[in-house]
Chain A
């Protein structure tokens, strides 16, 4: 049997419970925009009577819970890295793409102008002005190749420095996750650690944007995190730093965790995208450019050497390389006009005979424009450039398209997560109304009991 006084006590408890409900609504509304925040709900339970014949002793707040779907949150951690990889690739490749210049304005234009100059030379092999034009156009083509090689190398450097700063960002995030692990395990109650878990979730997501990770939940609420191939980044309250070490001869960095080289195993996230651009995409373009430069120099030199210059001497080199090459590697960056030709236009061998007016070699050089000298005799030099333009364009477009579709997937999952964890203002308004009205009613009840006690007391006086 409850007494009037115990009624007063549990009415006060009920007021508290409704106020807690209002608290939770307030917290939800306040965090409607907080990333990673999961909607809270308050769990209320009736308190049973302490003796037979009683109605019960009011209400009790049993729990404040955050509504999360662990599965969806893990899905996000899996989808986010791939999207970020494509985004990083799209942005790094668009820089490479812009270095190709607009159509008909870079190497292709210089190639055309050199062949035009060769054709003019064939028409007037003895003319000093056509010889000068050949010399100038050759210089301009060689410098276009060197510029392009420089831009590719710059883009690689750029990707490398972004990789280094991303590794720093990763270390910053793992350090904070470790702090949170520590705070969560030291947390006095589940309610107290809810906010920490929100933050933990958000940090893990940020980390997943940077690299592909595997996340394991610890029983105390913390997380263990390792890279894609299993190198631990976070274990309990210890973070393992990702370090960068410059590798000879390029000076580009390798990534290490606990002394283990993990560079090759990182395939996703921003880091994975940047590594792919630095180590796969751009080297591929450099290869194509080098092959083009080397083939051009080789073909022109062979023809040039078969002829005779204006002094009647056998033709020497037309193009040469400023460094010693291994294969074709570095050909574009080292392409120069041979010093003899650069210093004396008479050294241009236009003639197939020792006669000054002969033009047979100049004709062959001009015909090189349409000769299939690339890819085992299937492509012209212009085709080689076209293939490079295609590769860069295709890769950029693919990365961009993939980014868009990944973004859509992530948005979908985010929306699903919101279904569970997101704050709906209408819903909160409803709860607000609910708890407000309940609070008012409880206050009325409290007043009624209070009046009943006063009535009793008055009869006694």
Chain B
């Protein structure tokens, strides 16, 4: 084979280019820490990474939603505990007004006690968290139990449709409760009317009305604890989904890293290999073109 002047250089140039290209490739990997810096580096991995990132974005959003849902459920739970406490206090007051030996003053005190519970309950039911009335169903922008100038409540202003928020791709949690289901349920009148009636029954010493009202309060108590139970279940759901999302996120991030990230030890080894090859190619060119027969003819 004839080793011609041009072909010597062409071959050398090709191998030099290849070596320097590999070197740059590894350098980019080491500098960026990524194996896939542009789609053509690995088209399948690049497109899988797009999907993986979308998945991760969804998971992270569910995590953020879960955090805000937890805060809201905690507030609702506190309000329901308060409602339960108030109802118990009202029942105690009713008991203190019952019996033939009670004085007017004692009955008046009980009536005032019941009225103060009613006022506190109105506040509890009209609780708003971050501008959202939590016992108003989906009509959450207005108070569910509006009080007029005389202190009377015209009725439930919210909706029976509750508001649910997704905390994962498969489960949702109720964060806007139907207030009427707690305040009234299937009873003839709501808890506020019951308390108003109880207060006047205490003042007048109407034993029959007091005991009917006491039973009504008992029903309201059951409805409130049932609602609290639902909120508890909701919190458990959120917690369960949060831990699932954390796992998914860890797995997803690991997958994304496998797709995109450079194996640094490999990249660094590759870089030093490529560097050696590059230097060798340059050395070879220098050595091969140094000698020629021209040097020997005098």
Q: Which residues of A contact B (CB under 8 A)?
A: 32-33, 93-94, 97-98, 100, 102-104, 108, 111-112, 115-116, 119-120, 122-127, 351, 353, 355-359, 363, 366-367, 369-370, 380, 382-383, 385-387, 389-390, 392-394, 396-397, 400, 407-408, 411, 414-415, 418-419, 422-427, 429-430, 432-433
Is B161 a contact partner of A112 (Cβ separation < 8 A)? no
Complex CA gap A366/B292 in Å reads 75
Q: Given A386-B47, A424-B2, A426-B293, decide whether A356 and B53 contact each other with a Cβ distance below 8 A.
A: no
Q: Given A423-B4, A424-B2, decide whether A433 and B47 contact each other with a Cβ distance below 8 A.
A: no
Give which listed residue, B139, B159, B293, contacts A430 with CB less than 8 A.
B293
**Min CB gap A31→B, angstroms:** 10
Q: Which residue of B lies closest to A370 (CB)?
A: B169
**Min CB gap B136→A, angstroms:** 7
Complex CA gap A32/B46 in Å reads 47
Is A119 a contact partner of B141 (Cβ separation < 8 A)? no
Is A357 a contact partner of B140 (Cβ separation < 8 A)? yes
Q: 30 A-B pairs, CB-CB below 8 angstroms?
A: A33-B6, A94-B40, A104-B49, A108-B53, A122-B166, A123-B68, A353-B159, A355-B159, A356-B138, A356-B139, A357-B137, A357-B138, A359-B138, A359-B164, A363-B164, A367-B166, A370-B169, A382-B54, A390-B44, A397-B43, A411-B10, A415-B11, A418-B7, A422-B2, A423-B5, A423-B6, A424-B3, A426-B3, A427-B2, A432-B297
Is B50 a contact partner of A103 (Cβ separation < 8 A)? yes
Contact with A along B138-151 (1 / 0, CB 8 A): 11111000000000
Complex CA gap A357/B139 in Å reads 5
Q: A356-B142, A389-B50 are in contact. List 14 more A-B contacts (CB 8 A).
A: A103-B36, A103-B50, A104-B53, A126-B141, A355-B137, A369-B58, A382-B50, A392-B39, A393-B41, A393-B47, A394-B43, A411-B10, A419-B7, A430-B293
* Consensus secondary structure, chain A interface: helix
**Min CB gap B168→A, angstroms:** 11
**Min CB gap A201→B, angstroms:** 14
Contact with A along B120-145 (1 / 0, CB 8 A): 00000000001111001111111000
Is B7 a contact partner of A415 (Cβ separation < 8 A)? yes
How many A-B residue pairs have C-beta atoms within 8 angstroms? Tell me: 199
Give which listed residue, A369, A386, A400, A408, contacts B50 with CB less than 8 A.
A386
Complex CA gap A383/B55 in Å reads 11
B176 interfacial by beta-carbon distance below 8 Å:
yes
Contacts of A422 in B (CB 8 A): 2, 4-7
Complex CA gap A157/B145 in Å reads 65
Chain B positions 38-76 with a Cβ under 8 Å from a chain A Cβ: 38-44, 46-51, 53-55, 57-58, 61-62, 64-65, 68-69
Is A112 a contact partner of B11 (Cβ separation < 8 A)? no
Q: Which residue of B lies closest to A414 (CB)?
A: B10
Q: Given A123-B68, A358-B138, A358-B161, decide whether A425 and B6 contact each other with a Cβ distance below 8 A.
A: no
Q: Which residue of B lies closest to A419 (CB)?
A: B2
- In order of increasing CB-CB distance, the 8 nearest A-B pairs are A393-B39, A357-B140, A422-B4, A382-B54, A393-B43, A390-B47, A429-B293, A112-B57
Q: Which residues of B contact A (CB under 8 A)?
A: 1-7, 10-11, 14, 36-44, 46-51, 53-55, 57-58, 61-62, 64-65, 68-69, 130-133, 136-142, 159, 161, 163-166, 169, 172, 175-176, 260, 292-294, 296-297
Complex CA gap A98/B39 in Å reads 9
Is B4 a contact partner of A357 (Cβ separation < 8 A)? no
Is A419 a contact partner of B1 (Cβ separation < 8 A)? yes
Is B166 a contact partner of A366 (Cβ separation < 8 A)? yes
Is A97 a contact partner of B57 (Cβ separation < 8 A)? no
Contacts of A390 in B (CB 8 A): 39, 43-44, 46-47
Contacts of A386 in B (CB 8 A): 47-48, 50-51, 54
**Min CB gap A272→B, angstroms:** 20
Contacts of A430 in B (CB 8 A): 293
Is B139 a contact partner of A122 (Cβ separation < 8 A)? no
**Min CB gap A289→B, angstroms:** 14
**Min CB gap B12→A, angstroms:** 12
**Min CB gap B3→A, angstroms:** 6
Q: Which residue of B lies closest to A108 (CB)?
A: B50
From B164, B165, B296, name the one whose CB has the most chain A CB atoms within 10 angstroms: B165
Contacts of B163 in A (CB 8 A): 125, 357-359
